[in-house]
């Protein structure tokens, strides 16, 4: 597997290359130190795996990841960062990364991550997986408490419908729609409508 490394820390780049020398399956084909050259160099080197530092200079992090996924849908991307996993891990995977690992992880774990995504799997640490499982199980229980009409309102909200449009679609008045929205926020413990829609999409409640 050909690897392109996008990271602006020389010591980390050199250390990672040395670390992988005994793993003949992986070959480092090039490096990127500046986000401005990210897309052109991916096209130039055509790697199988991109190791992407989330704080690459002249890159907007998660936004760049979405751009990469849009332009190179088959490229496998491992995001690596010095930030705690709980801050960026889930956001990175949602934006199209195949895995996320903190720079504080061991050599063995980084190798495991590369091997995992090279096989088409998604890599997250056991700690993050547990957090996801706990959160999803809790959300499932909350969604089971919703009425059929509440789910209908939530579906329409997720499609960008306004109160008036929802009212017309369901043959109810706008005040009733507002009441349903308040109930949904409370039942799902959501901070706002965007959070409400985000939760529902994670569980494929809305479409």
Residue 25 has pLDDT above 90, yes or no: no
Mark whether 166 and 147 lie in a shared domain: yes
Residue that is last in its domain, among 127, 151, 174: 127
- pLDDT of the residue at 207: 45
Domains: count for the chain:
2
Residue that is last in its domain, among 127, 149, 171: 127
Contact 45, 3 (CB under 8 A): no
What is the CATH classification number for the domain harbouring 179? 1.10.10.10
Helices 174-187 + 148-158 axis angle, to 10: 100
Mark whether 58 and 142 lie in a shared domain: no
Per residue in 109-165, pLDDT (tens digit) is 888 999 999 998 889 877 777 666 666 555 555 666 788 788 888 888 888 889 999
Mark whether 53 and 121 lie in a shared domain: yes
Q: How confident is the model at residue 31 (pLDDT cuts 50, 70, 90)?
A: very high
What is the CATH classification number for the domain harbouring 99? 3.40.50.2300
Rounded Cα distance, 131 and 136, in Å: 8
Residues 6+ apart with CB under 8 A from 187: 142, 145, 146, 150
Joined together, the tokens standing for residue 12 give 């980390």
Mark whether 144 and 42 lie in a shared domain: no
Q: How confident is the model at residue 54 (pLDDT cuts 50, 70, 90)?
A: confident
Least confident of 61-65, 144-148, 168-172: 144-148
160: DSSP letter: T
- Average pLDDT taken over every residue of the chain: 84
Rounded Cα distance, 176 and 179, in Å: 5
In a domain, 132, yes or no: no
Task: Choose among 149, 142, 152, 144: nearest CA to 187.
Answer: 142
Contact 114, 92 (CB under 8 A): no
Mark whether 53 and 31 lie in a shared domain: yes
Rounded Cα distance, 163 and 137, in Å: 30
Q: What is the pTM of this model?
A: 0.64
- pLDDT of the residue at 75: 95
In a domain, 118, yes or no: yes
- pLDDT of the residue at 134: 61
Mark whether 39 and 104 lie in a shared domain: yes
In a domain, 207, yes or no: no
Range of the domain at 158: 137-202
Per residue in 177-201, pLDDT (tens digit) is 999 999 999 888 888 888 887 776 6
């Amino acid at each position: 597997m050909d690897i392109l490394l996008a990271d602006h820390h020389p010591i980390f780049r050199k250390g990672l290359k040395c670390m992988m020398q005994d793993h003949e399956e992986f070959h480092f084909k090039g490096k990127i130190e500046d986000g401005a050259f990210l897309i052109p160099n991916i096209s130039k080197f055509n790697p199988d795996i991109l190791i992407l530092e989330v704080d690459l200079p002249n890159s907007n992090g998660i936004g760049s990841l979405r751009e990469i996924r849009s332009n190179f849908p088959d490229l496998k991307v491992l995001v690596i960062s010095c930030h705690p996993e709980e801050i960026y891990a889930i956001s990175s995977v949602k934006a199209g990364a195949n895995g996320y690992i903190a720079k504080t992880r061991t050599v063995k774990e980084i190798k495991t991550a590369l091997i995992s995504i090279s096989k088409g799997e998604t890599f997250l640490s056991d700690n993050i997986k547990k957090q996801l499982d706990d959160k999803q199980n809790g959300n499932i229980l909350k969604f089971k408490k919703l009425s059929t009409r509440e789910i209908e309102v939530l579906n329409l909200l997720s499609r960008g419908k306004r109160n008036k449009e929802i009212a017309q679609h369901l043959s109810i008045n706008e005040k009733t729609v507002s009441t349903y929205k308040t109930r949904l926020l409370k039942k799902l413990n959501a901070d706002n409508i965007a959070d409400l829609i985000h939760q529902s999409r994670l569980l494929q409640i809305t479409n």
